[in-house]
Structure 1
Amino acid sequence: MNAIELFAGPGGMALGAERAGAASVGIEWDDNAVATRRAAGLPTIHADVRRHGPADFPDATVLTGGPPCQTFTVAGDGAGRLALADVLDAVKRMGAREAVDPRLLGDERTGLVLEPLRWALDAADAGRPYRAIVLEQVQQVQQVWNAYADVLRAEGYSVATGILRTEQYGVPQTRKRAVLVARLDGEARLPAPTHRPYKKGVPQSEGDPALKPWVPMGDALPHRGPFTVISNYGTGGDPKNRGRRSSSEPAFTVTGKISRFRLIDPDGNELDRFSHSEAGRLQGMPADHPWSGGDISQQIGNLCPVQLAEALFKAATA
């Protein structure tokens, strides 16, 4: 399998694809993410995805990516959510092969959510449709993926969409992602969970015996010893009520602000905050991933967890 990855980031999706037996080339415009990818030896095109198309990568049989989330996530400015009706209309019109100007959606980052569909339809119109498509994004994008599904089914794809919980795929972190899996050569299914869902106060040992226990932070960071993470975010809408999780639990969702998380030992003493390597490991990245360039916390927060990427690739191509 050869994959072309849009909005490739620092390598989470690429490493997951590699685990699933796929070679990939990533397109990424951000200088910092490109520096990390190249230090890691990941094939990379330093460019804007809007400047390229399927004709530039004729050997690719899988299309994958995760467009920027800043305008859709609840932590962002909300421009994408406000423009959602227009985005869904644009998806429908693209399926009918009508011209769409993404600039009319306001913030240009919102319009980027249409790029994977442009690539998929251009490939189909050229007579070389992708055999499989894998997309992931924050859960607020689920309606966009559902609209994609309608268009892709009309193109002959079997499509599955849904919200997945990353701890159910072995990621030592709770994180919900909206995903789309499409394929031409079989029935599309979302990957079956391999691990139990995390619920506060419910022991690892409880739950479906056919599934593995969820993975705690301590398993990913055994050198740390016992610790507690105090989140940068307030719980229940109260900014003073910081969430807490022990190292015997999965991490909170890793974002670009993970460097603000406080860590304390069992006696309440302050510990060093997560290093880049440690934060990356909570996303499933290798301990020695060569983080490079600047804004590394944001690079880590933006990436697709490796175990989830692997599961998605296998679901799309097995």
Structure 2
Amino acid sequence: MTPAPHPDVNQDKPLAIIDLFAGPGGLDVAAKVLGYQVTGIEWDPGACATRSKAGMHTFQGDVRRYRAAFFPDAQVLTGGPPCQTFTVAGHGAGRRALDKVIQYIERLHEAVHPDNARDWAQIFRTWRTISEELRIRELEAREVRAEKRKLEEFRATRRKAMKQRLEESGTSAEEVKQFLKKLKAPQTLDITDDTLKGLLTEFSDLSDELDKLKDKLEDLGDERTGLVLQPLWWVIERSRRPGLKPYDAVILEQVPAVMPVWTEYAKVLTTLGYRTATQLMHTEAFGVPQTRRRAVLMARLDRAALQSGVRPGHLPEVEETHERYHPGGSATRSSKASRADMLPLETAKESWISMEKALKRARGIKRDLPKRPAFTVVSNYGTGGVPEARGRRDHDAPSATITGKVSRNRVVHKGTDTDLADFNRFSAAEAGVLQSFPVAYPWRGNDVSQQIGNAVPPRLALHVLRHVLEPELSSDEAKSRLKQAAAALEAWKPEKPVEICDHRDLKRHAPKDS
């Protein structure tokens, strides 16, 4: 695999990137075809096995066991901390978890703000205090979860006993089924059997206790609350710790619900001398054959502003290169032709890429992929809040969002519910292609579908990396660079595997006071 040529031919060595929560290597493979060096940190054994086979340099383990000072040569920080707790932001637990993280970010911002004139020891003390608070909450949450499991097991025995009592009394199977359904609102049940009434009372009391424990767990949050703070602390350490240099650039991405976190991050990074931008990116608008939205934070160090004490400006957003997909709308694959007379040539966008087109091109590289007739993908998920109403997407459209359940999606004859014989599921290679991975990507380990679903789409990463790391390119140079990189990404093949490292393999360690 030949990387897309970098415009700076006089560069002594490739830019070095440290990728936190690196997953199977979505960002890493994009960085490699752009000619950059990447080291990833990832805890999941399956994702590490994939990375090893793909030749991605990796440290396996909890990100919290590592420090920015361990990788002093890294010039760019990237990552996508796990933020599932925020995906229900605005609805109870997600909102509270989001608010809690924002409060921690505000405390860190106060610690690094020049107006407060705090030295490194004081800044580190703030982080250590926050870390200890999170550790205590995590330990308490473990105890609450253990208690919750015990109560759930005991409640299950009460439910089983009620079912058995009803069956022994001659209650029909349908009536038993309806009774058990109503246990969600037991006050609606009218019971005369004293034994059954006693069991129901116990069941209800246990349900009340479980509700209290659920509320407590929601308030305590989980370890992901602390993990989402890690990239910010790495930036702070590199920016404020004596003897270390700030990162040249920072790129972070996650689900749209995390945008408020990135907004708060941006405030801190601006204080640290970075030009920043947050952008909600539609993946199909960047050549990914899939509709998916990602919240992206981009930052580039402004040394002139840093030295003069002037507030840095903002980074421009990444320009979309493809049309967005509108289901059932007119702005579809023909939009490029229909708009050609209305738009200047330089602003015209390519049409989005369909599943059919992406898989056909992949078959040209890996010829053992199945060739299907016109098909419809039936999602494992419901739509519009109705579990039974499965989402559907035809072959000549981009894929719906690829999730960790992609292997459960059915592939049927277009417009029917009839499975395609022998090819009624996407293979790992095909699912990877729809996430814009090279078809030759060597998926390994357990739960490959989850790896693919959680990964950064490499084609999206190409655009973001190019935009943030190569701001000096002209518009024509940027287009040429992306075109070459996209071709290199599609044709990428793994070279020799690399061994996975762990904490013991670090050649550099932080000083003792860290």
Give yes or no for TM over 0.5. yes
The answer to whether the Cα contact below 8 Å between 2:376 and 2:415 also exists between their aligned partners in 1 is no
Give me the whole-angstrom Cα distance separating, in 1, the residues matched to 2:246 and 2:335: 44
Q: Secondary structure at the match of 1:190?
A: coil
CA distance in 1, matches of 2:74, 2:279: 25
Shift of 1:70: 2.3
Query: Which residue in 2 is equivalent to 1:195?
Result: 322
**Distance in 1, Cα, partners of 2:95 & 2:354:** 33
User: Which sections of structure 1, spanning at least 5 residues, go unmatched?
Assistant: none
Could you tell me the percent identity over the aligned residues? Answer: 50
Amino acid at match of 1:277: A
Contact 1:72 1:78 in 2 (8 A): no
CA contact (8 A) 1:256 1:302 kept: yes
Q: CA deviation at 1:80?
A: 4.4
Decide whether aligned partners of structure 1 residues 267 and 91 sit closer, same or farther in structure 2, where only a CA change above 3 A counts.
closer
Pairs within 5 Å for 1:64-143: 64-74=78-88, 79-97=93-111, 98-99=126-127, 100-101=130-131, 102-103=134-135, 104=137, 106-126=221-241, 127-143=244-260
Give CA deviations for 1:179-220 in whole Å, capped at 9, x if unaligned. 000001485233111100000123211266510000000111
Q: How does 1:49-68 map to 2 (within 5 A)?
A: 49-68=63-82
Larger Rg: 1 or 2? 2
Whole-angstrom CA distance in 2 between matches of 1:79 and 1:70? 11
Q: Which residue in 2 is equivalent to 1:253?
A: 401
**8 Å Cα contact 1:230/1:242 also seen in 2:** yes
Given candidates 277, 283, 306, the residue that maps to 2:429 is 277
Which of the pair is proportionally richer in helix? 2
The CA distance in 1 between the partners of 2:240 and 2:41, in whole Å, is: 22
Worse overlay, 221-230 or 57-66: 221-230
1:91 and 1:148 in contact (8 A); partners too: yes
In structure 2, what is the Cα distance between the partners aligned to 1:167 and 1:285?
Answer: 14
* Distance verdict in 2 for CA 1:78–1:64, change over 3 Å: farther
State TM-score, norm by structure 2.
0.59
Report the residue type matching 1:125 in the other structure: R
Give the one of 385, 399, 409 matched to 1:237: 385
Contact 1:79 1:110 in 2 (8 A): no
Report what 2:413 is aligned to.
265
Per-residue deviation at 1:82?
A: 2.7
Could you tell me which residue of structure 2 aligns to residue 176 of structure 1?
293
In the alignment, which residue of structure 2 is the partner of 1:214? 352
Aligned pair in 2 of structure 1 residues 55, 310: CA closer, same or farther (>3 Å)? same
Q: Hey, what's the Cα distance between the residues in 1 that align with 2:74 and 2:298? A: 16
| Structure 2: distance between partners of 1:24 and 1:80 | 32
1:23 has 2:152 as partner: no
- Match for 1:198: what amino acid? Y
Q: Is 1:304 paired with 2:456?
A: yes
* Structure 2: gaps spanning 5 or more residues: 1-14, 112-125, 138-219, 303-312, 341-347, 361-370, 471-514
Contact 2:254 2:294 in 1 (8 A): yes
Q: How far apart are residue 266 of structure 1 and its match?
A: 3.2
Structure 2 CA distance for aligned equivalents of residues 189 and 3 of structure 1: 22
Aligned length: 317
The separation in 1 between residues aligned to 2:453 and 2:278, in whole angstroms, is 23
In structure 2, the residue corresponding to 1:67 is in which secondary structure? Answer: coil
Opposite residue 205 of structure 1, the aligned amino acid is S
Q: Distance in 2 between matches of 1:78 and 1:245?
A: 32
* Cα distance in 1 between the residues matched to 2:438 and 2:23: 15
1:96 alignment partner, SS class: helix
Q: CA deviation at 1:110?
A: 2.3
Distance 1:81 1:2 in 2: 36
RMSD over equivalenced CA pairs, Å: 1.8
- In structure 1, C-alpha distance between the alignment counterparts of 2:46 and 2:237, rounded to whole Å: 29
TM-score by length of 1: 0.95
